[in-house]
Structure 1
Amino acid sequence: MTTKTAKKTTTKSKSLPELPRMPFAFEVLNLASKQRSKAKKVEVLQKYGELSLKMILKWNYDTSIVSVLPEGEVPYSGFDDQRNMNLKLSEVISDEVRRMHEVGSFSLGATDKEGHTTIRREAKHFYRFVRGGDDAMNAIRRETMFINILEGLHPLEAEIIVLVKDGKLEDRYKISKEVVATAYPDIVWGDA
């Protein structure tokens, strides 16, 4: 007589992939977006969250924060090709993603060799792009400053800022306001 015993199976939860030290915002948002569960998305945002990431997420999801920049496409010449002003950001992003596929690396973080600035470094200027931030600033000067910041950023970082100014971050990344509010309970929402 044989007795049949049920095998015990334990499922070990997969650990999150490690991002480089001081990752770009697009790396954090991309990793969070790829997670299937709300809990994993929250875990990623908490692990890699810092002030500038919270700032852009609040700017995007808080309806009481109104962008004073024109909505839509932004003229973009990029860090390397500042002599060509006829490009649109979406074209540059497509080229950059293609280049990253060719190289086989999507992770840049602190190892970026092209001298791009980061959202982390430029976040101190973002108050100028929302109502109540620097209302005395001339609109042309504000838009020029915005474009100059975008041109110094990595194209995928610049894409985030353009999406955020239009409140459309969720069109590109699968991260809801609910996930952000759970990950960062310290954010005070103006539209709550």
Structure 2
Amino acid sequence: MESKLATDTGQVTLLSEICLKVNNAKDKSKKLRVLRENDSQPLRQVLKGAFSPNIEWDLPKGDVPYTPNDAPIGTEHTALMQEARTLFRFVKGGDTTISQNKREIMFIQMLEGLCAEEAEFLVNVVNKKLNKVYKGLTANLVKDAFHWDDNFMQKQPSYPV
């Protein structure tokens, strides 16, 4: 799988934009195509975090007290596509070396570095509400797109006995 961190113009792809394209796609085959055409490790990580029942976020549920970044899209400090590799810090058992208070402060700092759209998207990921915001973006669609089993792991090929 090749990483698609940037578009042809050099702009970093927003994961929230990919999910909006899924939302706007008319049928399942088009939704699958959007996910597959935009396949990347960060997209997989974030969608797994949003839908896998095995991933528990170690953050308070609900609204997050942060100040949205009002910089125009493309001029913000970071993008979720780049920050996805650090999300393990916010998952139960992911980084046991930091205190809960530090974890929450780091999460707020991450949100404030993202554009407002991506920050809101990430809050919905953590609250496991993506399917309520993006029509048709479901656990089953994600599993189909990336050939995952019910544990959100790559399906093992079945060989004849």
What TM bracket, shorter-length normalisation? 0.7 to 0.9
Once the two structures are superposed, residues 95-119 of structure 1 have per-residue CA deviations (whole angstroms, 9 ceiling, x without a partner) of x8xxxxxxxxxxx5xxx1x233111
Shift of 1:53: 0.8
Aligned to 1:64: 54
Shift of 1:171: 1.1
1:85-124 matches, within 5 Å, as 112=74, 114-124=75-85
Which structure carries more relative contact order (alpha carbon 8 Å, separation 6+)? 1
Indicate conservation of the 8 Å contact 2:35/2:145, yes or no: yes
Indicate conservation of the 8 Å contact 1:79/1:116, yes or no: no
Number of equivalences = 144
Aligned to 1:41: 31
> Aligned partners of 1:191 and 1:179: how far apart in 2?
11
> Aligned partners of 2:76 and 2:63: how far apart in 1?
24
Aligned to 2:146: 184
Cα 1:122–1:189 change in 2 (3 A) is: farther
TM-score, normalised to structure 2, is 0.81
| 5+ residue gaps, structure 1 | 1-18, 82-95, 97-107
Cα 1:191–1:43 change in 2 (3 A) is: closer
> Aligned partners of 2:96 and 2:121: how far apart in 1?
23
Question: 2:120 matched to 1:159?
Answer: yes
| 5+ residue gaps, structure 2 | 1-5, 154-161
Aligned to 1:149: 110
* DSSP 3-state at the match of 2:26: coil
Indicate conservation of the 8 Å contact 2:13/2:81, yes or no: no
Shift of 1:182: 1.1
For 2:101, which of 118, 133, 140 is the aligned residue? Answer: 140
For 1:73, which of 63, 72, 76 is the aligned residue? Answer: 63
Aligned to 2:40: 50
Larger radius of gyration: 1
Shift of 1:189: 4.9
Aligned residues: CA RMSD? 2.2
> Aligned partners of 2:59 and 2:34: how far apart in 1?
30
Question: 2:89 matched to 1:128?
Answer: yes
TM-score, normalised to structure 1, is 0.69
Question: 2:13 matched to 1:23?
Answer: yes
Shift of 1:27: 1.0
